[in-house]
Amino acid sequence: MNLPNKLTMARIIAIPIFIVVLMMEFRYAATIIFILAALTDMLDGHIARKYNLVSNFGKLMDPLADKLLVMAALVCLVELGNVPAWMVVVILAREFAVTGLRQVAVEQGIVIAAAPTGKIKTITQMIAIPLLLLANWPFSYIGIPMDQIFLWIAVAMTIISGAEYFYKNRQLLSMD
């Protein structure tokens, strides 16, 4: 197993640890685990492309690990009362819908590349979640709700990027 795939597996293994630590209300430790896992997401893709270590395992598991990490964090934050459930439902629905669209595309021999709006969605989620985990620290001292601002941006980018994927690939959804 190459290094990018090991990093992906480490991220997957970190998810249940993150959940347990967060649900035990050790928020600082959970935040560190989340940030380290999120950094492996950036690092494994960079290494895979730079050193030509792209694999089918990585193509499947890397985006899945990313989605599992984000969804685990958001669902736990709903349970803890920090995120409205409807926002998580919107994010989950988009992920399922785009994954389904990608599956239809693959069956027709088409690869749907990640769009810039999808990358922005992921980045805003990866910023919002640690802020939410830490009750908006350090911005809580100056009264700017950056956790909520980034959460709302993430939800908006979720909707925008989902609409973009479906609009650009509408030919895949013909009803014939």
List pLDDT tens digits, range 68-78: 999 999 999 99
Q: What is the predicted pLDDT for the residue at 113?
A: 84
Arithmetic mean of pLDDT, 158-176: 92
Give the chain's radius of gyration (CA, Å).
Answer: 17
Say yes or no to pLDDT of 52 above 80.
yes
> What is the DSSP-derived secondary structure letter of residue 113?
P
Provide the domain count of the chain: 2
Q: What is the predicted pLDDT for the residue at 162?
A: 97
Q: What is the predicted pLDDT for the residue at 74?
A: 98
Kindly report, residue by residue over 14-43, the tens digit of the pLDDT: 999 999 999 999 999 999 999 999 999 889
Kindly report, residue by residue over 98-124, the tens digit of the pLDDT: 999 999 998 888 888 889 999 999 999
Which of these, 26, 51, 52, lies nearest to 134 by C-alpha position? Answer: 26
Around Cβ 33, how many Cβ atoms within 10 Å?
22
Claim to verify: residue 66 and residue 1 sit in the same structural domain: yes
Share of the chain above pLDDT 90, in %: 86
Residue 169's domain comprises 84-176
Domain end, chosen from 27, 54, 81, is at: 81
Angle value at C-alpha 25, between 19 and 27, nearest 5 degrees: 80
Claim to verify: residue 67 and residue 42 sit in the same structural domain: yes
Claim to verify: residue 66 and residue 139 sit in the same structural domain: no
Arithmetic mean of pLDDT, 7-12: 97
Say yes or no to pLDDT of 163 above 70.
yes
Claim to verify: residue 48 and residue 98 sit in the same structural domain: no
